[in-house]
Structure 1
């Protein structure tokens, strides 16, 4: 008989923030969360290159993020 793994899942379950939910895919949101980037203001302190180096970010996520930031009158740091 197979063992129930629900206790393992409960311990390892990570609660995701709603920051950028519906704007960029979950892997990209998780990457930002790991870096403790939870606002557009914090995000604007980084360069595109720095964000693209995060595991979970690709061209599609970056384009969506740049458009969303532009709509909110913010942009990436030019470093």
Structure 2
């Protein structure tokens, strides 16, 4: 299993919101518009920042 196979530790509410929207792996978030993720209940600025950082480690980014 690689770091792209799982979501980073961003907190239970944000993780639950992402999984509920069908995002179960970090690489699923590559190219997804930041605003779309921010609209999910439980995904706040801190979670978005952490996701940005985790994606950047793999040369990926949010849309």
Global fold match (TM > 0.5): yes
Report the count of equivalent residues. 59
Unaligned runs of 5+ in 2: 1-5
TM-score, with normalisation over the residues of structure 1? 0.66
- Counterparts of 2:61 and 2:25 in 1: how far apart (Å)? 13
Unaligned runs of 5+ in 1: 1-18
Aligned alpha-carbon RMSD (Å): 1.7
CA contact (8 A) 2:27 2:55 kept: no
Higher normalized contact order (CA 8 Å, seq sep 6+, divided by chain length): 2
TM-score, with normalisation over the residues of structure 2? 0.80
